[in-house]
Structure 1
Amino acid sequence: MNLISIRRFSAFTYVVSDMYLPEEKKMERRRGAPHLQRLRCPDTHMSITLLTVRETEDVGKYCAAVEGALGQVMGVYRKTAIGINLYLLPPGSGFHKRTASLGLNDATLNLAAPLFADNPRTLGNLVDLVSHESFHLAGYLAGDGRAADERSAYWMGLCSQLTVLGLVRGDNLPGGIIRTGNEAIAESSEQAFAVRRDVQAYMIDGEIRIDSVAGKAMLETCRNTFPAVDAANTPGH
């Protein structure tokens, strides 16, 4: 789970990220914060850094997934600049960290995601997470009224999965309703369930492929939902 709050002070953007991965009781408990390796994604004009507890030969795939996800959002909000620091940890690791960043005419998101044993599931989740949260931040910077809309953010995540990976798997759809006293989390989970229900119409045998008839129909919905937004022409700019 990643909770993001954003404030604007003149040309400065202040972003607070609360990152949380639940702990599994059966996992070995380690004292203190995990030692993380910082890996800057090469061959990209975007600022993308991966922080992981172990070396992995899949770094190139993770970088490409994050770059593609961020590129989808930047294609909508063309005059915004967002950097990503992505914490990649084993599922059930009990990770919790709060970070803050201050940017001048740009912004940085800190996000946490689990590394599943099933690598395609990991890639789908990374694309979905980065697109979803970047949509909120980039929309805010651009003055788009949809910036806080969870339904739109969930759709952005799924549209990015389809475009970047060519596939949306059933296990990478948004989850069900969470019963909680936290109003923001409750609203987000309700919208996640609504979008999950909408997208079921495009699924065949538990997945959506971009080259299928249903996939092409969903892609058209995505294009109509997210036309390019010029920040200079949005309210407040």
Structure 2
Amino acid sequence: MAKDAAGSGARRRPRGLGGVFVALALVGANGCSSVMTAGMREQAPANGVVALGGWKALGMTRLIAESYVPGTPQRVRLARMRCKQAETAEISIRYDPRALAAHERARACALLTSTADHVAREIGLTQVRYEAVLVPASASYAWRRSSLAPFTRLTLGFAVPWSPDASWTHANLVDVFAHEAVHLRALRTGHALPDEEEAAYYAGLCAQLDVLGELRERGLPGTPVANAGEAGERSSRVAYDVRRAVFPLLHEGRLPTDSPRADELRARCATRLAPLSPPEQ
């Protein structure tokens, strides 16, 4: 019998750059269904939409990752760069050489490597291939990545904008990575969470805290959105609930990693992610 796992996510960040919808949906056994709805694309904020779908059956796991970043239609020529391999995963980036300088590519790789190590420690997600498409600021981009284990490594791929606003760009990259890793871990292992979407949002916040050394107000998920489909709208409500719950922990818009309140946030993350924490067999 097929064993499916699903959850969905949506977020909109306030103040300028918008936010991300994130979804994990069921797809048919042929793996051909789209996991991103028209509503998600139409309501996509500045830092885009990421949607995951998958199924698990007969010893196989299928993962489909779709991304859409809104912007101005333009030709984006992408090169591929393999990052220094993490202990737990293979990591690569796709980027436009005209838009990303060498030091920016190095910084992106460092953040992805640290986040991969973080999710391996926190939820036991290992032996995964990660691909991040760093979309030039203001450009639109759509991307789809499919993988089938055990024939290939599962590939968690996602596209995010690479903005001149470095602090926001870095926080968004880490946050999206960790959030989607929770959905993939749940799909691959079948571990049930009381509320997977809430757990995924908390995972993104704790990853920012650990990888970046602080959580800033602009790194919190945002306000509810409409017309994004049932899953997207529900997830945006969860995002807003998480924002309201975490905001009081910040002082003057920041939560440093070494503050007592940071330990409180880590405890919340640990509680929500506990069903995913045992190492994979």
Do these two structures clear the TM 0.5 threshold for a shared fold by scoring above it?
Answer: yes
1:51 shift after superposition = 0.3
Q: Distance in 1 between matches of 2:130 and 2:235?
A: 22
- Residue 251 of structure 2: aligned partner: 204
Q: Distance in 2 between matches of 1:200 and 1:78?
A: 28
1:140 shift after superposition = 1.6
Give the SS at the match of 1:220: helix
Q: Distance in 1 between matches of 2:228 and 2:211?
A: 35
Which of 44, 60, 82 is the equivalent residue of 2:86? 44
Q: How does 1:44-83 map to 2 (within 5 A)?
A: 44-45=86-87, 46-54=89-97, 55-56=100-101, 57-78=103-124, 80-83=126-129
1:175 shift after superposition = 2.0
- Residue 67 of structure 2: aligned partner: 19
Give the SS at the match of 2:144: strand
Residue 164 of structure 1 pairs with residue 206 of structure 2: no
1:139 shift after superposition = 1.9
Contact 1:136–1:147 (CA under 8 A) maintained in structure 2? no
- Residue 6 of structure 2: aligned partner: none
Count of residues paired in the alignment: 226
* Structure-2-length-normalised TM-score: 0.74
Q: Which runs of 5+ in 2 are unaligned?
A: 1-48
Which of 134, 142, 149 is the equivalent residue of 1:103? 149
- Residue 34 of structure 2: aligned partner: none
1:231 shift after superposition = 3.8
- Residue 174 of structure 2: aligned partner: 127
Q: Closer, same or farther in 2 for the Cα pair 1:203/1:5, shift >3 Å?
A: same
Q: Distance in 1 between matches of 2:86 and 2:157?
A: 18
Q: Distance in 1 between matches of 2:81 and 2:112?
A: 13
Q: Closer, same or farther in 2 for the Cα pair 1:147/1:164, shift >3 Å?
A: farther
Contact 2:214–2:257 (CA under 8 A) maintained in structure 1? yes
Give the SS at the match of 2:270: helix
- Residue 235 of structure 1: aligned partner: none
Deviates more, 1:219-228 or 1:58-67: 219-228
Deviates more, 1:130-139 or 1:181-190: 181-190
Give the SS at the match of 1:96: strand
Structure 1 vs Structure 2 CA RMSD: 2.1
Q: Distance in 2 between matches of 1:140 and 1:199?
A: 27
Contact 1:80–1:142 (CA under 8 A) maintained in structure 2? no
Give the SS at the match of 1:109: strand
Contact 2:74–2:139 (CA under 8 A) maintained in structure 1? no
Q: Distance in 2 between matches of 1:226 and 1:89?
A: 30
Contact 2:85–2:91 (CA under 8 A) maintained in structure 1? no
Q: Closer, same or farther in 2 for the Cα pair 1:148/1:97, shift >3 Å?
A: farther
CA deviation string 1:115-164 (max 9, x = no partner): 12121211111110000001100122122112972111000000111111
Q: Distance in 1 between matches of 2:84 and 2:117?
A: 15
Give the SS at the match of 1:92: coil
Letter in 2 for 1:163: D
* Structure-1-length-normalised TM-score: 0.87
Deviates more, 1:223-232 or 1:34-43: 223-232
- Residue 175 of structure 1: aligned partner: 222
Q: Closer, same or farther in 2 for the Cα pair 1:140/1:80, shift >3 Å?
A: farther
Q: Distance in 2 between matches of 1:222 and 1:148?
A: 12
Letter in 2 for 1:41: C
Give the SS at the match of 1:47: strand
